[in-house]
Structure 1
């Protein structure tokens, strides 16, 4: 090989360029057949690289965009990584620390919304106006859903900023959309009585327990008999079932022990007739298996019961609001109520249920 081709050598069906950059020996492979013509062209490319290095204008990513060294040496690393690639890398990391149901939501956000909207942009290209433009296309999505969709993008760009792939995180300039807190509209005792009168068997036990325990629906259907302490009148809330998947409760404060109210205890005694030998307390009577999700309860039990009782529709979550308002109205300590509800402190109780706290 002549002098002009020093640092250029054929290897199988490719050509390897060898040069030194920033004190480090670099080898890059050109995926071309090593003909004499190709080798001469490769030699010219190497000479151009050496000249640019000498002049201080060499851009690794421009010559070798797919190389690992491109990101290592590039002055503008964000120009070499697409938002799609960054999102997928973030998902892989998230899979190691998040619940499966959470990863399912993340996948939906990433693959059905974020990649189609922003995936082709590089990290250094995406700007707040891109997000504003996307908002104009989302139709009737709720603010909460939009915030959830943008969550993975927000975290991905945050990581990119900390990793010095970008100088500015555009999501820092985009505030989450405002979510209107679901206004408590609790049921009174006459309404509770009317609703329960429309139900029987396991369905009645489930709804009665919901009204007098304050558990979320996912916690209700995840409740196990081993979590019930009849001797000390306690319900230990440890698990939840979301989309058919059993998982621990969402937060540490969510793992709590709830005092067993007489009405809730009565519902459990009745439920023992049906599922005492099973793992989970509440079953779907049609399948004799644990409920797979709250949507079935809402459609099959809740909506028909309210219609039959001639009561204006309210979501099943209002059973939880009802529980809190009844405790507070009876003079219970707000701090204790916060613990019963699984709140970290009583700030949420004061904010949401303040009108039921006696003065």
Structure 2
């Protein structure tokens, strides 16, 4: 995971996506090669506030001369960033078990978020930007979730005279 505390502005409710981890090393670019700003909802802000508190406690408890990682998702033992996906996969599985949630892939909550946004009627261009997709890719992947009980209202938008 490549999000650093300096990328997050809780008071402004934003996170800046600036880098990725490639072959175990951070690179100063996103997967789309463009920096993007993510708007944080109340749940994300709450989770990041809790994570920040834990990072602060870790920093205060550290007796090591090793610098503390600037990354939000820190490695468990040593290092400045998580180098292997298996680290986060294991933590994710443990969290699912503790919460009584069936096992799923680590990427699936991203799909759930996209689907929930579309079902709520949010603008596909906004959702695509938040996910770092092109609108076409978003619609190709998630179009089946756009139709809903409001389909008849959509049809009524087209005047009979057209």
TM-score w.r.t. structure 2 length?
A: 0.73
Instruction: Compare relative contact order (CA 8 Å, sep 6+) and give the higher one, 1 or 2.
Output: 2
Task: Tell whether 2:118 aligns with 1:328.
Answer: yes
Larger helix proportion, structure 1 or 2? 1
Per the alignment, residue 252 of structure 1 pairs with 33
Task: Tell whether 2:57 aligns with 1:273.
Answer: no
Task: Tell whether 2:107 aligns with 1:317.
Answer: yes
The CA deviation string for residues 87-114 of structure 1, in whole angstroms up to 9 with x for no partner, is: xxxxxxxxxxxxxxxxxxxxxxxxxxxx
Return the alpha-carbon distance in structure 1 between the equivalents of residues 10 and 141 of structure 2.
Answer: 31
Q: Which has the larger radius of gyration?
A: 1
Give secondary structure in 2 for the equivalent of 1:316.
coil
Return the alpha-carbon distance in structure 1 between the equivalents of residues 77 and 87 of structure 2.
Answer: 11
CA distance 1:305–1:272, change in 2 (3 Å): closer
Task: Tell whether 2:51 aligns with 1:261.
Answer: no
Return the alpha-carbon distance in structure 2 between the equivalents of residues 310 and 319 of structure 1.
Answer: 12
Shift of 1:250: 2.1
CA distance 1:232–1:252, change in 2 (3 Å): same
Aligned positions, number: 135
Shift of 1:235: 0.7
Give secondary structure in 2 for the equivalent of 1:283.
coil
Task: Tell whether 2:128 aligns with 1:338.
Answer: yes
The CA deviation string for residues 137-168 of structure 1, in whole angstroms up to 9 with x for no partner, is: xxxxxxxxxxxxxxxxxxxxxxxxxxxxxxxx
Per the alignment, residue 240 of structure 1 pairs with 20
8 Å Cα contact 1:235-1:257 kept in structure 2: yes
Shift of 1:302: 2.6
Give secondary structure in 2 for the equivalent of 1:246.
strand
Consecutive unaligned residues in structure 1, runs of 5 or more: 1-220
Return the alpha-carbon distance in structure 2 between the equivalents of residues 263 and 310 of structure 1.
Answer: 18
The Cα RMSD (Å) is 2.2
8 Å Cα contact 2:14-2:39 kept in structure 1: yes
Per the alignment, residue 156 of structure 2 pairs with none
Matches within 5 A, 1:145-224: 221-224=1-4
8 Å Cα contact 2:70-2:80 kept in structure 1: no
Give secondary structure in 2 for the equivalent of 1:270.
helix
8 Å Cα contact 2:124-2:135 kept in structure 1: yes
Matches within 5 A, 1:270-309: 270-276=50-56, 278-287=69-78, 289-298=80-89, 300-306=90-96, 309=100
